[in-house]
Structures are given as structure tokens and as C-alpha cells.
Amino acid sequence: MGHVQVGEQRDWVGLISILDQYDSFVFSTHVQPDADGLGSELALARFLAKKGKTVHILNPTPLRVNLEFMPDENEVGVYDSQLHHELLQSSDVFIAFDIGHYNRLNHLAKDLESLDIITISIDHHPGDKSQFKQRYDFPTASSTGVLIYDLLKVIDAQALDDITIAEPLYAAMMSDTGNFRFNNTDPETFSAAAKLVATGVKPNEFYVHIYENLNTPGRLQVLQRLLSELKYDCDGRLAWSVIDYAEIMNTGATPDDLHSLSDFIRSIKGVEVGVSITKMPDKPTDISLRSKGQIPVNKVAQQFGGGGHAFAAGCTVNGTLSEATEAIVEACRQTIKMWDANV
């Protein structure tokens, strides 16, 4: 659909027609759902349910502990190829929210390819989503949540006065802007958030749920390992930490505790690029890259088949943990050197 600058009208006509015409929907988001993907699908699902539509939310993997407060009981499920194949096959429309890249749907991606249903992407990430029949991808938006806000404002602005719709949209925008701190925080997002707060959303409650409930005792064990393993290069502008889950699983840490570590590394004074390198047993090495807002890191992720935004990206790397670390760190070094040479 192309880029849309803040304040410009996005073309939702085709999507609105589909939402009006069809009655049975399946929604999903990327593996390891975040508040943006989850909040976006919840808000649109609740809106459609109030219109008498049937919506099933089936995500590739379970929710993190700090997001379990968002859905109602049994409102969100985890996709299973055997259990949900007939449901998926009999639905009219499948919509993916915030996935970034088609393969982040996990097993759902393969199953969709064999079905003749309408497939749609709604996203603010660049990335390969050519497999969808329709794409409403606007990379200049701060979040997918702000896109759903804009969509609902066009369809029925009064829907945004419904607190059950306002709350997940606020969580989506808040999370993907780092509590309105990141450089993607723009006037459109502030304006939308203000409207949602006026509806009755309580920002302090969402901050506690999403950020302050993140640091479980297991998470603190992970952070302790992170600090002990932290390494620097490029005069302290590059920092990274390597964590092998097999080495810390007996501390009480869960896989959930390994998320968002690169945000912590980026927060260190003097660090411009923060990288978390984590390895789960029998899985590729997971790489998360964050930049303070000058040096782009999505090109590093793309070298390894990943992607994301300029200053927040990720990928997975096959091979041993040490091989993956060496390759990623060297790619980051070269990216910083190229940046320095061009400024």
C-alpha cells in the first residue's frame, strides 16, 4: 500500500469492505506476541464481535506473563495445526497483525498456503509479506495499534469510546513506543493515546502490568548473567551479552525471562548499539538488536534473514552459539564503521 506520512489519509476502503462483507475471521500475530500485536488483534476482534461477527484469535506461541492480563478468559488461543485446521479452512478471512515477516507466523504460515481463503496483513513493519492477498502495511506508523485506531476511527469513531477496545489499543501504542520514549513516538500516537485516556484508560495501571511485572525472580537471574557476560567494542558504543539458557535453567529462569534484553543493554550510557544473543536448547540462536536512534541495525538483521525497523530489529542464526556471536558482533562492528565513514 506504500508509505503514509503522519496526517495523511490511509486507504482503508478495501479492508472495510471485507470486514463488512464477511462473517468468520481468524486473527493472529507473530511468534512471542508483544502488546502491539496482541492489543491490535484484541481491539479489532472485540469491535467485530459487537457487530455479530465470529472471530478466533490463534497466535503461534503463548503470551508472556506480563501480557496475560490483556485478554479475557479463552479469548486468545495458541494455534495447533491438528486442532485448528478445520476452523482455519472454514473461515472467510485470515488477518495477521504486526508480524514483520511472513515466516514469523510459524506453523500457521505453511498451513495458510494450502487454503483458499482471503489473507490480509496489517502492519507497520517493513518485510516480506508478499504471500498475503491484501496488505495494509504502513511503515511510517509508530505501531500496528495506531493503525487499528485509525481504521476504527474511519469505520465508527464511537467505537473508540468503548473501554474494552480503548485499553488494548493503548497497550499496543504504549508498548511499541517504549512508553512513548522511542523515536517512533509521533504526534499521531500522542493524539490517539490522549483520546484513549479520555475514554478511561489508566496509564499507570498499564505501565505496572507491562513493565513492572516483567522482572520476575527468574528475570533477575537472567539480568545477573547478562551483566556478568556483558562485553563492549567500538569504544563502548557496541555492547552485547551472550546467554545460553541451558546454563541458567536451574536458577528458576524461564524462556520468557530472556525477552527484551537488548533494550536493557541499549540503556547503558555510551552504548549506541545493544545486542542480546540468546540460545535455547535445540533452537537457532536468537538475536535482538537495538540502536539509540542514529546507527541503523535492521541491515545487520537482514544479512541473516531477519528484519525489523532501523533501530529495532532481530533475526535467528544457525550454527553454534559462539559462531553466531562472532558473526553478529562482526556485522555490528562493520555497520558502525560504515556509519562513521559516512558522517
Condensed to tens digits (0 to 9), the pLDDT of residues 226-246 reads: 999 899 999 999 999 999 999
CA distance 331 to 324: 11
Tell me: pLDDT of 333 over 90.
yes
Tell me: pLDDT of 8 over 60.
no
- Residue 64: C-alpha distances to residues 155, 256, 289, 318, 333 (Å): 31, 6, 20, 25, 32
Largest pairwise CA distance in the chain? 59
The CATH class, in words, for 217-342 is: alpha beta
- Conformation bin of residue 10: beta by default, left when phi > 0, alpha when psi is -120 to 50: beta
The Cβ-side half-sphere exposure at 283, using a 13 Å CA radius, reads 14
Q: Cite the residue boundaries of each domain of the chain with CATH code 3.90.1640.10.
A: 13-211
The CATH class, in words, for 13-211 is: alpha beta
Dihedral angle, C-alpha 38, 43, 49, 54, nearest 10 °:
-30
Tell me: pLDDT of 2 over 70.
no
CB 149 within 8 A of CB 47: no
317 vs 260: which has the higher pLDDT: 317
2 vs 240: which has the higher pLDDT: 240
Residue 82's SS3 state is helix
First to last CA, the chain: 32
The whole-number average pLDDT for the span 250-258 is 89
Q: Give pLDDT, residue 214.
A: 74
Q: Cite the residue boundaries of each domain of the chain with CATH code 3.10.310.30.
A: 217-342
